[in-house]
Amino acid sequence: MSIEPTPIRAVSPLDGRLLGKYQTTTAAALAEQMAAARTAGAAWASLSVEQRLAKLAPLTERLLADSDAIVDCLRLTTGKVRTEALLGEIYPLLDLLGYYRKHAAGILAGRGVPTSPFAFPGATAQIQRRPYGVAAIISPWNYPLQLTVAPLLTALIAGNAAIIKPSELSLPVGQLIIELFAGLDLPEGLLQWAIGGGAVGEALIDAGPDLLFFTGGLQSGRAAMRRAAQHPIPVLLELGGKDAMIVFADADLPRAANAALYGAFSNSGQVCVSIERLYVQRECHDRFLALLLDGVAKLEVGTGADADLGAMTSDRQIDIVQAHYDDALAQGAQASGALQRDGRFLSPALLWNVTPDMRVMREETFGPLLPIQAFDNETDAVAAANAGEFGLNASIWSSDIAKAEQVAGQLQVGNWAVNDVIKNIGHPGLPFGGVKRSGFGRYHGAEGLLSFSYPVAGLTSRSRLPKEPNWFPYSEQHYQNLKGYIDFVHGAGTLKQRIQRNWPALQAFREYSAFDLTQRWHNLKLLLTGKRG
């Protein structure tokens, strides 16, 4: 693929100011980056997990010391408010680093596997974890720091080199990431970045990484997967969501209402696990709606220190939100107010009297809309929540924890929370990922490190016998002896019955026993005769 080196202007969604100019990465440059990454990755993989963690440890200090500057970069690049940048982008990375400092060495350690002394005489078995090599990480614009650095850290700790391609809408944050890691004692070329849009992403895949980690929308994820399949390259996909929140009448309604507003409108709804469908039990629907209407009227949109919602990152996403809003009203839904727009700033809105066939209930909105639908019982709630093509996260609200967890167990999602929203995905020890068209693969927790490494199985024989029982020569008697051995191990009946009917076969294979033969056969005879030693 040929890519012309063209400039990209980074413009702030807050006020349109120019944040920087960047040159797209060419296919030739990507080939050079891949070669450098392989050299650096080989040196990095030779280090122990503890040594890698020690070299990455200063990143914690840098994130803490530079937090205000990082927040400002995120605010200007994405439009989000400062609190969202701090809690949604920086804090989860500190938690993840802390978790892996404590647990990564144990997670990635090799382990022994028991072996049968009959089938594998004198042998030991083990499983080791190895890094893939070079991981390509394609990340989105909504959380450009966290959703790039979290998989990046996981890749590096597991022993990989990495080439990141941040969204073309968040290039200043991509540059910030490179600068944050530049002060660490890492092999040259271990971390690099590619600049550009979809064409550069395709060229990065064509450059031949050993693993692709993609976070983004469903259509872009499909395109990345198709591209990777041509090589083929293993893929981890973190795609979109249409997350449901289920509120039962016995829930703490004021708390649940506050959670619904936060879950739906955090980062202006530009969160893959935003509450995009709210199901409320009919008997408390009107009371709950009143709480929501009161709460949404108090939310502040703007750039000030007290603002709850900032700017939308892209005009394209605003158009999608508007289309979902218009479609709902055209089909009879009611709204808390007009969808007011001022530049990239968009006011949040509630929708009720919605139906399952409306776009706002089927398609990912990724913006500040919250549609509300009533349900009658648990069965209805589960059926409604499981409808649709996505399965990322869900939230269940009830004072009956057993009931809430039972409902959670029926939902087709990769993650759930009871009486909380969004926060569960930030737990560093819990794996995060979706089912259905929300993607596959996991990161965070032990599963994250395991996803960025692959298992190697090993068997070591210490036998000094001239041959193994399965080696040549074959004969009819050998075949019958093998049948007898298999029946002894896996057949029906008591141990005594299996020994009695397969005694000739066991005698034929006694030379392969890994234990003291004299004592073993003595014990077998005692068992056959019913005597005790």
Tell me what pLDDT residue 1 has.
64
CATH code for residues 20-239+447-456: 3.40.605.10
The dihedral of CA 469, 472, 475, 476: what is its sign?
Answer: positive
How far CA 434 is from CA of 179, 237, 259, 349, in Å, comes to 31, 9, 22, 27
Catalytic positions, please? 238, 272
Letter string b/e over residues 335-348, b meaning 16 or more CB atoms within 10 A of that residue's CB = bbeebeeeebbbbb
| Cβ 434 vs Cβ 392: under 8 Å | yes
Q: Provide the pLDDT for residue 515.
A: 41
Whole-angstrom distance between the N-terminal and C-terminal Cα of the chain?
77
Q: Where are the domains of the chain?
A: 20-239+447-456, 243-434, 476-529
Cα 64–chain centre separation? 25
pLDDT in tens, the chain (533 residues): 678 788 999 999 999 999 999 999 999 999 999 999 999 999 999 999 999 999 999 999 999 999 999 999 999 999 999 999 999 999 999 999 999 999 999 999 999 999 887 678 788 999 999 999 999 999 999 999 999 999 999 999 999 999 999 999 999 999 999 999 998 999 999 999 999 999 999 999 999 999 999 999 999 999 999 999 999 999 999 999 999 999 999 999 999 999 999 999 999 999 999 999 999 999 999 999 999 999 999 999 999 989 999 999 999 999 999 999 999 999 999 999 999 999 999 999 999 999 999 999 999 999 999 999 999 999 999 999 999 999 999 999 999 999 999 999 999 999 999 999 999 999 999 999 999 999 999 999 999 999 999 999 999 998 888 888 889 999 999 999 999 989 998 999 998 899 899 999 888 887 776 444 444 555 556 656 655 44
* CA–CA gap between residue 185 and residue 55 (Å, rounded): 6
Architecture of domain 243-434: 3-Layer(aba) Sandwich (3.40)
What span, in angstroms and rounded, lies between the C-alpha atoms of 37 and 133?
8
Hey, what are 200's tokens? 């550069």
Task: Write out the two tokens for 507.
Answer: 């005698």
